[in-house]
């Protein structure tokens, strides 16, 4: 039997084709809103869903989808929760992505919504003893398997990234986690400990995972005492 959350979102997409907005409990109602406003083709061609840093669950999402009428082009839309309903509208302009995710997101498979993904990342952060205040959300499909995944950039109150988690949007499994080391005061820093080759390899893998989620426009945001290439808010 499918999880209840998966059934809710699957039903929401179907309702969208009939011009009905389902209850907001199935957040984000991307499939419903996109199908209602732009047609089924728009909902089937979504490649990236994202929301800038939020202290709570987002009420506005930016959606990038393949243009069904122009090969190789993208359409940018905005989906906003208004009066308990999710409503889509044109995003305006041709704001291209830095890189385009190669696969579409099957929104009917999203059984782990943004709130649950944040809770999963929060548990991982607690285990790593990392505090965060904001989360920057991205939803895209795994390049190899097509599985929908959440890429969550965890930030402190100042907007510095302190961690990054990848959570399966289908099952809720935490697939990857990486935490920015805290920098102690200069006078209290212990002598550096040589890293093993295994540790260096693990760091390289995590860095590659993080870079793979840099879909949006070129930007550099300060993280700790150095600059890491990150996506920026729309």
What pLDDT, in 10s, does the model give residues 127-171?
999 999 999 999 999 999 999 999 999 999 998 999 999 999 999
pLDDT tops 70 at residue 106? yes
Q: Which of 90, 109, 128 is the last residue of a domain?
A: 109
| 65 beta partners | 46, 75
Query: Which residues, other chains included, contact 102 with Cβ-Cβ below 8 Å and sequence gap of 6+?
Result: 143
Within this chain, do residues 95 and 43 fall inside the same structural domain, yes or no?
yes
pLDDT band at residue 213 using 50, 70 and 90 as cut-offs: low
Domain limits for position 57:
4-109
Domain tally for the chain? 2
Crossing angle between the packed helical segments 30-38 and 4-17, to the nearest 10 degrees? 10
**Alpha-carbon distance values, 122 to 73, 128, 129, 219 (Å):** 36, 10, 10, 26
Asked if residue 13 belongs to a domain, the reply is yes
Tell me if 234 is assigned to some domain. Answer: no
C-beta of residue 35 within 8 angstroms of C-beta of residue 68: no
Instruction: State the average pLDDT over residues 75-101.
Output: 84
Distance CA 47, CA 165 (A): 19
94 and 156 in a single domain? The answer is no
Same domain flag for 162 and 139:
yes
Instruction: Report CA 212 to chain centroid distance, whole Å.
Output: 12
- Is a pLDDT exceeding 60 seen at residue 1? no
Is residue 60 a contact partner of residue 51, using CB atoms and an 8 Å limit?
Answer: yes
Distance between CA 137 and CA 184 in Å, rounded? 29
Q: Do 72 and 13 contact (CB within 8 A), yes or no?
A: no
Q: Is the pLDDT of residue 211 over 90?
A: no
Give residue 216's pLDDT.
61
Residues in CB range of 88: below 8 A, 6 or more apart:
33, 34, 36, 37, 38, 63, 77, 78, 79
Distance between CA atoms of residues 147 and 153, nearest Å: 19
Comparing 77-81, 98-102, 114-118, the range with the smallest average pLDDT is: 98-102
Residue at which a domain ends, from 60, 91, 109 = 109
Q: Tell me: do 13 and 105 sit in the same domain.
A: yes
Kindly state whether residues 103 and 119 are assigned to the same domain: no
Torsion of CA 181, 186, 187, 189, to 10 degrees: 30
Identify the bridge partners of residue 77 per DSSP, sorted by sequence position: 63, 90
The answer, as to whether pTM is greater than 0.75, is no
Indicate if 156 and 51 belong to the same structural domain: no
pLDDT of residue 63 exceeding 90, the answer is yes
Q: Are residues 84 and 128 in the same domain?
A: no
pLDDT band at 77 (very low <50, low <70, confident <90, very high): very high
Question: 167 and 104, same structural domain?
Answer: no
Q: Which of 52, 78, 109 is the last residue of a domain?
A: 109
Which residues in the chain belong to E strands, given as ranges?
46-54, 60-66, 74-82, 85-90, 134-141, 148-155, 161-168, 174-179, 220-223, 226-229
- Decide if pLDDT at 47 tops 90: yes
pLDDT for residue 94 is more than 70:
no
Q: Which two tokens stand for residue 233?
A: 């808010």
- Average pLDDT (20-41) is 70
Residues 87 and 10 occupy one common structural domain: yes
The answer to whether 74 and 66 have CB atoms below 8 angstroms apart is yes
Binned at pLDDT 50, 70 and 90, residue 205 comes out as low
């Amino acid at each position: 039997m499918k999880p209840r959350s998966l059934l809710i979102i699957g039903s929401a997409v179907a309702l969208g084709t009939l011009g009905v907005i389902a209850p907001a409990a199935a957040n984000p109602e991307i499939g419903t809103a996109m199908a209602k406003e732009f047609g089924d083709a728009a909902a089937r061609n979504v490649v990236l869903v994202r929301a800038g840093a939020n202290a709570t669950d987002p009420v506005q999402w930016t959606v990038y989808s393949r243009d069904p009428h122009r090969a190789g082009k993208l359409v940018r839309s905005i989906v906003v929760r208004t009066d308990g309903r999710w409503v889509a509208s044109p995003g305006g302009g041709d704001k291209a992505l830095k890189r385009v995710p190669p696969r579409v997101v099957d929104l009917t498979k999203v059984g782990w919504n943004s709130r649950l993904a944040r809770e999963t990342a929060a548990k991982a952060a607690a285990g790593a003893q990392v505090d965060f205040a904001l989360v920057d959300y991205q939803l895209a499909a795994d390049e190899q398997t097509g599985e929908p995944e959440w890429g969550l950039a965890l930030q402190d109150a100042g907007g510095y990234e302190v961690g990054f988690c990848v959570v399966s949007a289908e099952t809720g499994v935490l697939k990857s986690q990486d935490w920015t080391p805290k920098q102690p005061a200069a006078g209290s820093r212990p002598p550096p400990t040589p890293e093993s080759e295994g540790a260096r390899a693990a760091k390289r893998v995590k860095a590659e995972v993080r870079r793979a989620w840099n879909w949006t426009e070129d930007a550099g945001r300060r993280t700790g005492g150095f600059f890491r290439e990150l996506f920026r808010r729309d």
